[in-house]
Structure 1
């Protein structure tokens, strides 16, 4: 769509709607209406003017408008995490316009603490700010039953998502080179979920500024913090009020209010770990007649 083309090209050029309006002589309102697709049949002269200013081809091919958006669904019942969300926002706000290197955020914490839920929440909320799309790879670094995804395998998936002509090369070095070449000049978010260690992540980092990488891991990935100046984001336990909100989102206020003391005990015994709270909430949801007091008793 023309609206997507304009938004993508404007953001890639690091222009605000006001700056684009000044360059084209159009009103800011006209730019907003075109980008939101409120105007479905703009004047040909207006389209030509925008294409000229933004450097867009007169007749773009359909493949030129492909924008990968690979994020999984957000995890239901997300709550809290305001400091961490604000920390990631600051990384992005200090990023593509002024950064001199790739921005990398490392979300680390104990199992079940909600690292992936936090990363997905922020990524979905911020996806529109990445004009060329969002990539996602699950690296399987913490699964004891399966081998972790190798960097070469992950690069193959990323290259396929970028729809690079010529297919995926065989060797790891060739894959890394092609991947970084394909990202050059693009503004993308790359989410690397469940990383095992820094060595698994390092080959997947872009080689030039313009992109942001968000990594989740049980490991602190100190090697990335030291070598690649990654920014650590610590994911810790939920506060009791946030844990209550998670249960409320899953079970409803009425059920919690009916057994308020039992619900408080569940919150206390789950110790702010979102996965533990989600498991208890799931048991309560599939057994609506089961008293919360019984669930609280089983957690003792």
Structure 2
């Protein structure tokens, strides 16, 4: 089996590659080769099979053709620019997040291979006046450009799958926390930084109040669910190939309390609360009462608690950060 991870240089792409390398199989088949593609050269990943690292611009169909070939069985389409940047750079957001997705799907259609395409969408596709709770049957009503671009990607995954061009599945990611590494331009970035930095002896700013709720998932569970998502038989997905990845809803205060329960009170002292209007303008449209019944029925999982998220960061990522 040949797998291509587009966005293979990012946090999720690298963790997914390492998990696949350790596992050695996908969909009941041995992995023979893995292509890590990104706009910059991805970091190397050790594996018992061939790992190729290449640069790829998904806004350019010719570039995609160099990384997706007739032997490619599974494509993880993770590449995107995140919410804050997509809001600021409208044209770039659509070029990468929407037209880039279409370019990848068109490449598979051109090859005629019906490859499995796992597309990472976002809970940002929900918002506005859709009634709570948000379920798999709620209509998409994004309140940001990023959400609109991801919603368009979901519709394309459905249509290209309906036509038999690809075997697509779109997984809406919750906010992934605690993310290691450096802050990015996601509006949700503070939801990792207020834990990641204090746990490493640094100060961090929280731009919302302690009672602000959100829907979360750890990086470890996210990777497990991405692997399971590729392995779900197509006939079990039904007419809608999109689903929300299971997560948990907690307030900022509950999450900080969870960190304190695991590591003691010192980290919380390094968090300061300071409202940031530009962040609030984006996050105020997000929704929190989300039910991921379809994904749960198909075997995907949420974390048991936010204490687990903190423990996973300490075990998997603190030293690397």
Higher share in strand: 2
Same fold (TM over 0.5): no
TM range (shorter): under 0.3
Whose relative contact order is higher, 1 or 2, with alpha carbons under 8 Å and at least 6 apart? Answer: 1
More helix by share: 1
TM-score, with structure 2 as normaliser: 0.24
Larger Rg belongs to: 1
TM-score by length of 1: 0.25
